[in-house]
Amino acid sequence: MVRMNTLTTNTTPDAVSVRGLRKTYGDKVILDGIDLAIGEGQIFGLLGPNGAGKTTMVRILSTLIPPDGGTTTVFGHDVRREPVAVRELIGLTGQFSAVDDLLTGEENLLLIGRLLHVPAAERRRRASELLERFDLVDAAKRRPATYSGGMKRRLDIAMTLMGRPRIIFLDEPTTGLDPRSRHSMWRLIRDLAAGGVTILLTTQYLEEADELADRIAVIDRGRIVAQGTPDELKRRVPGAQIVLRFADEASFDSAALALPEGKRDDDQFVLRIPHKGGIHSLREVLSRLGEAVAVEDVAIDSPDLDDVFFALTGNPQKEQN
């Protein structure tokens, strides 16, 4: 082992390293030269609209489909050449729950334990531990058909954890969940990460990526259009603005004269002034406006990932379902 280390690099490999990844189906290009790196212990968010290539990406990383080009490694193991080594390190919770509906919750966990060749006693111990942890003790002897969407998803993730994976791929873990289950899923994902597991999470919800991810890659039509921390991404769009709305053209025009740095929206009589932050900036802007000009409405507009998304992909996030 020691000799190996002197021959190879000293740095630990990234949990996931992807360079120039390509995937096509027929003449349809699904992934068009993806580059990304996920550090160990990170929660990495892959954010994009439907059809952007998120699921294809997860399927390649979990060795379900081969890539067409580029190099893709998981903890240093190439997904093409060493799929078995990769499979021993990963856990996959796909977009559609992969629980067995004819087995009870507990039997599902035990089945996965058997397939992982976990010894019988350890298998039972781990299963009951996970049932406890995921609040499924009462449901353990029932079939998933009687579960709520959130419970099914929790069982799905519990099954993924039977193998103690070092990295977990969560493909749209909250799609289709009600707001409460979604929030408890978020808590669960944070707990997993706190336990040291690396997480790759795909989502079409900007709020979710913002909430959970240490780093985000925005994917659109098979390309990464931006990558960084949520804050870095937010910095890529214009900063906060004071938004002044006026009732009529006369007050709008005189306000625009008083505040020449403002960006005019002539159709709606709206003036946008860069906001330096704090109450002083706001007071200063309002005092320059003077008492005479009647303002209909004042608002402060902070950028969120939605703005980032629009700015980067150029297409509005489509409503889902």
Partner 1 sequence: MSSPILAVQDATTMLGRELKHTLRFPLLLVGTILVPVVMLLLFEYILGGPIGTGLGAAAHGAPYVDFLVPGIILLTVAASCGPTAINVRMDMSGGFIDRVRAMAVARGALLAGHVGGSVVRTILSTVVVIAVALLVGFRPKASVEAWVAVLGIVTAFSFSLAWLAAAIGLTAKSVAGANGLTLPIQFLLPFLSSTFVPAESMPAGVRWFALNQPFTAVVDTLRALLTGGSVGTNAYVTIAWCVAIALAGYLWAQVALRRGVPAT
Point out which residues bind partner 1 (CB under 8 A): 25, 30, 55-56, 59, 62-65, 84, 87-88, 90, 92, 94-103, 107, 111-112, 114-117, 159, 163
* Residue pointed to by tokens 């081969």: 66
Give least dist CB 70 to partner 1, A: 17
Q: Which lies closer to partner 1 via its Cβ, residue 25 or residue 310?
A: 25
Instruction: Report yes or no: 108 and 159 within 8 Å, Cβ to Cβ.
Output: yes
DSSP state letter for 145? G
Give least dist CB 212 to partner 1, A: 22
Residues 6+ apart with CB under 8 A from 184: 150
Q: Which residues pair with 228 in a beta bridge?
A: 216
DSSP 140-190: TTS-GGGS-HHHHHHHHHHHHHTT--SEEEEESTTTT--HHHHHHHHHHHH
SS3 261: coil
Q: Which lies closer to partner 1 via its Cβ, residue 29 or residue 103?
A: 103
Strands 223-228 and 215-220 turn out to be antiparallel
Q: Which lies closer to partner 1 via its Cβ, residue 1 or residue 84?
A: 84
Q: Which lies closer to partner 1 via its Cβ, residue 81 or residue 283?
A: 81
Give least dist CB 243 to partner 1, A: 41
Give least dist CB 96 to partner 1, A: 4
Q: Which H or E run contains 190?
A: helix 179-194
Give least dist CB 118 to partner 1, A: 11
Q: Which lies closer to partner 1 via its Cβ, residue 103 or residue 311?
A: 103
